[in-house]
Structure 1
């Protein structure tokens, strides 16, 4: 059985590095990360992890969510 906490932490780090390039929508992040083998549920948990640590802002713009770093 896979250690889920480790996978979520790894994914959070990857998301953080992607967001250093600029804000992304949830769809954009999922597209990038799914190509790298990350699952959609782990991606969402990792975004929650980063939000809980106050590293990202998650904004809703009409029908899409935008994720950006607070202090890159």
Structure 2
């Protein structure tokens, strides 16, 4: 499972290289590649733990961007 989370974290990171994305947008993009919502959230947690991203909640919308 760790490998799948790490692989998904890499995909999230590369998507964020193009600019910030909402959590719903990231989930939508990665679901097309076979990643479920829980896996995407765990990958975001992985990147947050590594201090690679900033996660912001504004008016009920979660936005993620690279540091």
TM-score by length of 2: 0.98
Larger Rg: 1
Runs of 4+ in 1 over 3 A off after TM superposition: none
Aligned CA RMSD, in angstroms, stands at: 0.4
Q: Distance in 2 between matches of 1:56 and 1:31?
A: 19
Residue in 1 aligned with 2:30?
33
TM-score of the pair, normalised by structure 1: 0.92
How many positions carry a matched residue from both structures?
Answer: 67
* Cα deviation code 1:14-45 (max 9, x no counterpart): 00000000000000000000011101101000
